[in-house]
Each structure stands twice: as C-alpha cells, then as structure tokens.
Amino acid sequence: MGDSLTHLSPAGEARMVGVGHKPETEREALASAWLRMSPETLERLMEGSVPKGDAAAVARIAGIMAAKRTPELIPLCHPLSLSGVDLEVRCHPPRQVEVRARVSTRGRTGVEMEALTAVSVAALALYDMLKGLEKGIEIGPIRLEEKRGGRGGEWIAPGSGEGRDPEAAKGS
C-alpha cells in the first residue's frame, strides 16, 4: 500500500513525501475560480460602489496571502519559497466574476495547491465583501487550469483558456 500511495507510510499512516532527491526546476501553476451573482451585485463590484470598499483589491491580497500560507492549511504540503503570485479578478457581465492565480517557484515540488488555495480564498474574500449586497452568490467551479515544470512537465486542463466561461461550457 505504501509503495503505490506516496503520502502513506508502509504502515498506512499519513506522511509528508520526501522531495530532497528531486532536482530544482522552474514550476508554475494557474488556477481559476468563478463566482455567479446577480447583475446588480456585479454592477456594484464593477463600479467600485461596494459598501465594504474595494472588494477586488481585498480579494487579490487575500489570495496572495493564502498562497503563501498553503502549507499551514493543507496538512501534507511542503513549505515553498514562492517566486511570484499574480492574482486577477475579472468581471464577466452580466453575472460572473473570474478569479485567476498564477503561482511560480523554483523548487523540488509543484505549486498547484498554492494556486488552488489562492483562488479559493480570494473567492471567499469576494463573497465576504459582497454578502451585504447578496447572500446567494455561488462559488465554483474551482480548478487547476495548467501546470508547468517538474517530472510531469506541462499539463493543460481540457477546455482551459483565458476567459473560459463555465456557464457557456454547460450550455446555459
């Protein structure tokens, strides 16, 4: 069991995988999260007239902070020295907001979890900033769009792309 599942010891106990033997390479991951809200709430976000202040700025800072703290939140993640975290909040009228995080490092393990954590927390921060206007904001999907570096090389999610609209993909 321990041979095929890397995060389990031979006794079946959770462990942090050793990465000291792996070469350091440039690594990068891109993740996205989507929020769906009423056109009125999105308009207020785009106008910058949210009662709590600049919601997009708060979300960007929250996402960047979250990427840096990922190993404190996800138990088996290695602490990494991140080279960069770029987080964008993009409005897609009439009802959607896209959060994208690109995280990079030079290291022995990838930054997929850091990118996913960044967009997840940024989406939650946006919800917190907007909940006074609308409680029923939906968050999702959240997904890894692409990763580069390491033994696995490059991976791009099917249907990935700038401004990908999950509602259009579902045909709604």
* Active-site annotation, residues: 128
CA 112 and chain centroid, separation: 8
Which residues make beta-bridge pairs with 87? 101
Instruction: Indicate the helix (H) or strand (E) that contains 91.
Output: strand 82-92
Residue 149, by phi and psi: left (phi above 0), alpha (psi -120 to 50) or beta?
left
Please report the DSSP string for 129-157 in residue order. Answer: HHTTT-S--EEEEEEEEEEE-STT--EE-
